[in-house]
Amino acid sequence: MPLNAASAELMTTMAAMGVPPIAESTPDDVRAVLEVLRALSPPGPDMARVSDVVVDTPDGGTFTVRVLVPHGDVRGVMVYYHGGGWVIGSIEGHDAIARKLADVTGYAIVNVDYRLAPEHPYPTSVEDATTAFEWAAANLDVILGGDASTDVPLVVAGDSAGGNLATVVARRMRDRGGPSIAMQVLIYPVTDSDTETASYLDPENQLFIARDTMLWFFGYYIPDAAQRDEPDVSPLQIDDLSGLPPAFVLTAEYDPLRDEGEAYAERLRDSGVPTTLVRLDGEMHGFFSMVTMPGHEVAVDEIAAAMRSGIPA
């Protein structure tokens, strides 16, 4: 179907404003634009409790997680990794999104402010993502308050590069015998470094995120191209995907990453992993992080429905 009217209007507005493409900007320039856009976005739902926690890393650094606990009975904990090509994005920029997820799913959200490239190139974000999940699993009492049950469902989730990090954490926990993950929620995830797929090359998909944008991200995140086929970057190329948590995979029609997301979902299914794949037609990459877009509401509802049906109460 045609690109939806809201996305088409956004692209027209950005062009009229003279906003340069990401691939023609510096990371600091793009981060500054995102801060302006964030200030224009509506806040998310009110929470019962919000707290920022500084987490220490094995390499002597730190990063912050924002814990968002919704009102009412809390069903579980979701560790969420924001998108942004491992170069841009923040928990502030994804605060309204995380609040909406908490409100609709009934899960406490641990929104992870993992360290970004180029200041902290690969594999820093991967290690931070793993540390964040392990912190959440070990601190359920801090997240939920009181004596939290050890059988609280844990979910890993993320959009785009954050979806990539969620896949890595799910596989690492499988391989390391780590805490059990009830579901992985992957929103148009990066699952491969191959930028020659049909969806990457389709002229209609060169919108908010284009092929040259992804090459820009890869260049800052993983300057050594030889590392881009490693499992922690390109999970689609992993031989064994069996034994991973049930997955919900959401893709967008007008998205360079569409083919690899859908291919990953098929690989999971072929490996015996219960997997739900939903493609939102008429949407472009990045729509989920735009809370005023109609597709955002649809996606949140799809995620909540998948979690209700796929995770035992």
pLDDT tens per residue across span 180-195: 999 999 999 999 999 9
What the block records as the tokens of 100 is 């909406």
Is 78:155 a contact under the CB 8 Å cutoff?
A: yes
Task: Supply the residues annotated as catalytic.
Answer: 160, 255, 285
Alpha-carbon Rg of the chain, whole angstroms? 18
Q: Collect all residues with Cβ–Cβ distance below 8 Å to 126 and sequence separation of at least 6.
A: 165, 168, 232
CA distance 205 to 252: 10
Other residues' Cβ atoms within 10 Å of the Cβ of residue 224? 9
Per-residue DSSP letter, 21: P
pLDDT of residue 14: 78
pLDDT of residue 270: 97
Q: Cis peptide before 2, with omega less than 30 degrees from 0? A: no
pLDDT of residue 298: 96
Thinking of the domain 5-310, which architecture would CATH place it in?
Answer: 3-Layer(aba) Sandwich (3.40)
pLDDT of residue 68: 98
What the block records as the tokens of 308 is 């209700």
CA angle 254/234/110 to nearest 5° reads: 80
Is 92:193 a contact under the CB 8 Å cutoff?
A: no
H helix intervals, 82-178: 95-105, 124-138, 140-144, 161-176
Low-confidence ranges of the chain (pLDDT < 70): 147-150, 313
pLDDT of residue 127: 98
pLDDT of residue 143: 95
Query: What are the two backbone dihedrals, phi and then psi, of residue 77, each rounded to the nearest 5 degrees?
Result: -130, 130
Specify the pTM.
0.96
pLDDT of residue 12: 87
CA distance 212 to 201: 10
CA distance 142 to 140: 5
